[in-house]
Amino acid sequence: MSSNIEREKWSEASKRSYAYHYGRAAYEDITYTCRKCSIQAVFTGEEQKNSYEVKKNYIWQRRTLCSLCNADLHKLKAKNVALQERWTKEKAALQKDAVFLTEWLAVLNEFPSYGARVGGAMAKKLGELKARVPNPSIERTCPGKPGHASHVKR
């Protein structure tokens, strides 16, 4: 399916591109493979029109995720923002919270599978903090002495 192009509605950056002066007359469906799940998807002419003329995305920007994976990425970004906000408010306590550190690190480590580069430095810091925090799920007792605490080397 195709949709007529209204170049005057493009972003200023797109108006400076080659496509503004010499491009085609209509948006046409573009088939692509999702970067995350590898299924075939279509960036329809209507979706392109909305992306470039309403949302003002750059004209050479192309889809790399299917609609389901894109929705999952948006949820992941929202979760990351919520964790960042919590970190800002409760940093001192959360630096010692193994559950929080594990959860946030898992979120940050999920981004590369979507082709996104988010929080690399923060992931490194969380990993370092997590390594210093005792894991409450490990029972720390001396052999032969039930309930007697011991030091566990990591």
pLDDT tops 90 at residue 101: yes
Which of the four pLDDT bands, split at 50, 70 and 90, describes residue 73?
A: very high
Q: What is the pLDDT of residue 136?
A: 60
The closest alpha carbon to 3, from 57, 53, 73, belongs to: 53
Mean residue pLDDT across the chain: 85
DSSP letter for 27, please.
E
Q: What is the pLDDT of residue 15?
A: 86
Torsion (CA) 141, 143, 148, 151 in degrees, nearest 10:
-50
Radius of gyration of the chain (CA): 24
d(CA 146, CA 148): 6
Mean pLDDT of 21-32: 88
Mean pLDDT of 12-37: 89
Coil/strand/helix, residue 119: coil
Q: Which amino acid is at 28?
A: E
Please, are residues 39 and 66 in contact by the beta-carbon 8 Å criterion? yes
Please, are residues 25 and 4 in contact by the beta-carbon 8 Å criterion? yes
